[in-house]
Amino acid sequence: MVEVKADVAIIGGSGLYALLESASTVTSVVDTPYGETSSPITVADVGGVRVAFLARHGLSHELPPHRVPYRANAWALHSIGVRRVLAPCAVGSLHAEVGPGSLVVPDQLVDWTRGRLQSFHDSYEHGPVHAEFADPYCAEGRRAALDAASSAGWDAVDGGAMVVVEGPRFSTRTESRFFAAQGWLLVNMTGHPEAVLARELGICYSSIALVTDLDAGVIAGQGVSADEAMAEFARSTDRLRRVLLDAVVRLPAGECPHCPVPPPMSVPT
């Protein structure tokens, strides 16, 4: 791996496979103790901030949600010095009033995945470890994202719970209506375990969700179409890119006083 350093990382989701057009440093796919990363890591200067970019699903969207190497991605970013992550993602809305094209900065997460490795702590060498996760997203990162969206004329929704499902299939109507009945706002396939792995590494993590569709329980007809969802994301990609780059420079420098200190961790060999 090329010796690079970055302060902030953006993990691009569906439809966002490149971000930093003036990148000065590109690593190859990084081999970590947890396997290879999803993609090479691109690093560039954005307003005086060293920013890394990694494509969550790979450069050609070859990795489905349940096959993303979440631990490798988080470990690699941490190893180059990243302490803050902005994580854009495509989501379905569980409520008609938040329609396609809406931007949401969620404040809560619900894990509805099945069987994903969601911790670096495969043993209790230093005693029992239970990451603090009551508030999964960084308050400073959320504020930077909301302010950047407002500056771009995008009236982002402040808050809401995002339920993360296993995928790659979409929800049934009954599942979708159940999620909505719990008061949850969004449904997504990749936000977990990404967020909790960042927490274990002491990385402040903030999700920025672009609504691409109304979920199956909200609409009549055939339900969600992958092609329609990707087309909606494509329509907003340039605007989302501007919001992300603006949010980067709005992030406070230095340590975050809000996110919990991570528990001690053994470094695998």
Q: What is the pLDDT of residues 64-112, one digit of tens each?
A: 999 999 999 999 999 999 999 999 999 999 999 999 999 999 999 999 9
Task: Return d(Cα 108, Cα 137) in angstroms, integer.
Answer: 7
Of residues 13 and 42, the one with the higher pLDDT is: 42
| Assigned domain for 1 exists | no
Mean pLDDT of 230-237: 80
| pTM of the shown model | 0.91
The pLDDT of residue 235: 85
Has 135 been annotated as catalytic? no
pLDDT > 70? residue 28 = yes
Has 213 been annotated as catalytic? yes
Phi, psi for residue 161 in degrees, rounded to 5:
-95, 135
| Assigned domain for 256 exists | no
Of residues 15 and 260, the one with the higher pLDDT is: 260
| Assigned domain for 268 exists | no
Q: Is 250 exposed, middle or buried (0-12, 13-18, 19+ CB in 10 A)?
A: middle
The pLDDT of residue 180: 96
Q: Which of 7, 215, 227, 246 is catalytic?
A: 215
Mean pLDDT of 162-189: 96
| Assigned domain for 84 exists | yes
| Assigned domain for 210 exists | yes
Task: Return d(Cα 137, Cα 237) in angstroms, integer.
Answer: 23
Q: Which of 7, 107, 213, 246 is catalytic?
A: 213
Express as a percent the part of the chain with pLDDT over 70: 90
| Assigned domain for 196 exists | yes
pLDDT > 90? residue 227 = no
| Assigned domain for 234 exists | yes
**CATH number for 186:** 3.40.50.1580
Domain that includes residue 71, residue range: 8-121+128-250
Confidence of residue 231 (pLDDT cuts 50, 70, 90): confident
Mean pLDDT of 220-248: 81
The pLDDT of residue 193: 97
| Assigned domain for 132 exists | yes
Mean per-residue pLDDT of the chain: 89
Q: Sign of the CA dihedral 138, 65, 166, 71? A: negative
Asked if 233 contacts 14 with a C-beta cutoff of 8 angstroms, the reply is yes
Of residues 255 and 180, the one with the higher pLDDT is: 180
pLDDT > 50? residue 206 = yes
> Which of the residue ranges 128-137, 220-229, 239-248 would you say has the lowest mean pLDDT?
220-229
Of residues 58, 23, 22, the one with CA closest to residue 40: 58
Of residues 200 and 230, the one with the higher pLDDT is: 200
pLDDT > 70? residue 14 = no
Task: Return d(Cα 177, Cα 228) in angstroms, integer.
Answer: 21
The pLDDT of residue 1: 46
Task: Return d(Cα 112, Cα 45) in angstroms, integer.
Answer: 37
pLDDT > 90? residue 179 = yes
Structurally, the chain folds into a number of domains equal to 1
Of residues 235 and 1, the one with the higher pLDDT is: 235
